[in-house]
Amino acid sequence: MEHKKNTRCTQMQIQLLQKYMANNKTIAINTTKSFIGQVEANKRAREWCALRALLRKHGPDKSVEKWKQTWRDLKRKHKKQKRNIVSNNKDHVEKKICDIINNDLDKILESSTVNADPLESIGERLCDLLDQQNSNLRLRNTIERNKLRFEHRRF
């Protein structure tokens, strides 16, 4: 039994693959033959062969199936990174909210007389925190969009 070594692609090949997929969305989306029909499946197979020939010029050769696997892996990696960003951001916000609530409750319990409504100050601080978080998310999305635009223009 012969074990085939996985061939790593070059950074140039990855960039070309991403650019090609951005310009050819029909093959970037994985759809089974039963949904697209045989004619479209044949067209996609020809496009994958053309892509393979293009990528072969810039690094090690891989089969069409290996290039499909590379594309799947890149998509999964991107989705995982996006999930991690959202998850880390969510954990950070939840921690801040808990800190605000715990801090305010500690102040209320320590103080024997409270002049203002304690729940009102908690609500105001939570609203400020959520407004700040929304601003940060909008800024992060803008930065990500600009990065993608810049990457597309580089080719």
Residues 6+ apart with CB under 8 A from 64: 45, 48, 49, 52
142 falls within a domain: yes
Strand, coil or helix: 31: coil
* Residues in the chain, total: 155
Residue 3, in any domain of the structure? no
Of 54 and 30, more confident: 54
pTM: 0.52
Total number of domains constituting the chain: 1
Determine, yes or no, domain membership for 2.
no
Residue 71 maps to a domain:
yes
The one-character DSSP state at 58 is T
Residue type at 30? N
Evaluate whether 122 touches 106 at the Cβ level (below 8 Å). no
Residue 5 lies inside a defined structural domain of this protein = no
For the segment 55-95, what is each residue's pLDDT rounded down to a tens digit?
999 999 999 999 999 998 888 888 887 777 766 666 666 66
Q: Which domain holds residue 117?
A: 11-153
Task: Note whether residue 96 is domain-resident.
Answer: yes
Residue 19, domain member (yes or no): yes
Using an 8 Å Cβ cutoff, are 78 and 71 in contact? no
Task: Let me know if residue 149 belongs to a domain.
Answer: yes
